[in-house]
């Protein structure tokens, strides 16, 4: 089974709304086996320019689980809050 990773790169616009979003998103991951791998802040770029200073990596058991999470009613309900709180680039990778 191929694992899937969702990588979020973000620039926070509203720290209070971002904190609200973060406090709710974990519960949406659990039904799909999602687990937070790490959160971090960019320290240095060895090559190229990344316009987003923050990153999050979430691991799912499969691509189907990652897709199910993203399209779930619970996560979709959080997207407006996420959009108000930060500029986010979400990408999915298989490993």
The answer to whether 40 touches 6, Cβ cutoff 8 Å, is: no
Backbone angles phi, psi at 11, to 5 degrees: -125, 115
pTM for the complete prediction? 0.92
CATH of domain 4-42+61-88: 3.30.70.100
Q: Which residues have a Cβ under 8 Å from the Cβ of 50 and sit 6 or more positions away?
A: 9, 42
Q: Which residues of the chain have pLDDT under 70?
A: 1
Listed by start position, the domains of the chain span: 4-42+61-88
Q: Which residues have a Cβ under 8 Å from the Cβ of 84 and sit 6 or more positions away?
A: 13, 14, 17
Q: Which residues have a Cβ under 8 Å from the Cβ of 81 and sit 6 or more positions away?
A: 17, 20, 21, 24
pLDDT of the residue at 1: 61
- Whole-Å CA distances, 34 to 11, 53, 61: 22, 23, 7
């Amino acid at each position: 089974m191929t694992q899937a990773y969702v990588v979020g790169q973000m620039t926070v616009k509203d720290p209070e709304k971002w904190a609200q979003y973060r406090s709710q998103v974990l519960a949406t991951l659990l039904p799909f086996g999602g687990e937070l791998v790490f959160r971090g802040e960019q320290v240095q770029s060895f090559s190229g320019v990344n316009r987003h200073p923050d990153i999050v990596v979430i691991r799912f058991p499969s691509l189907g689980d990652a897709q199910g999470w993203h399209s779930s009613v619970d996560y979709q309900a959080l997207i407006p809050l996420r959009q108000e709180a930060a500029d986010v680039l979400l990408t999915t990778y298989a490993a």
